[in-house]
Amino acid sequence: MAEELKNTTVAFLVAPEGIEQVELTEPWKSVEATGGTPRLVSTDSGTVQAFNHLDKADTFPVDVTTDDAKVDDFDALVLPGGVANPDYLRTVDSAVALIKAFFDAGKPVAVICHGPWSLVEADVLRGRTITSWPSVRTDIVNAGGNWVDEEVVVCREGPNTLISSRNPDDLPAFNATLVTEFAKQNAAH
């Protein structure tokens, strides 16, 4: 199992601040533990500021900016939550374009908590089933998505696989599912 994601590079797309730290670090560790290479992508170079809910937590170095990131350099995408993180990302054209490019390329995407706000902006939810933090439900439905209240959802409608979870309590299931789904995609290519 430790080599499930060998030769798999996973983009973690985040804003300069406001990322829910465990929604970044726990999936990151799961990718690394299974042989994958996580890379931090943000709208600005330097470091990003994570949070534990509303309290500042750790900072993390950015590997590549959204202006320089190319979807062909990655095998999958993870969109952590935190209220401010996806709210900011959906206002940055290069971030929204990168998300859309992952969908257009048929690459798997995993999103948790408030993260689907970025997917709403990228207009990639029509006809897709997804879960999220409850306050994002109306936005998902208005964007044509089918919202459900489940620990983890795997949707294969559309050009790619979309994995989603509601909140940090769902991280064990979210992490196990994203590794499994990313590995399936990697094996297919």
Summarised one tens digit per residue, pLDDT across range 48-71 is 999 999 999 999 999 999 999 999
Using one digit for the tens of pLDDT, what is the confidence trace for 141-188? 999 999 999 999 999 998 899 999 999 999 999 999 999 999 998 777
Q: Would you please indicate which residues are annotated as catalytic (active-site) residues? A: 113-114
CATH of 9-183, one of 3.40.50.880, 3.30.1280.10, 1.10.10.10, 3.20.20.80: 3.40.50.880
171-188 and 21-33 helices, crossing angle to 10° = 40
- Integer angstrom CA distances of residue 4 from 26, 37, 59, 149: 17, 11, 28, 29
Please compute the mean of the pLDDT values over residues 86-90 and round it to a whole number. 97
Task: Write down the pLDDT at residue 185.
Answer: 85
In this predicted structure, the answer to whether residue 2 has a pLDDT above a threshold of 70 is: no
To the nearest whole percent, how much of the chain has pLDDT over 90? 94
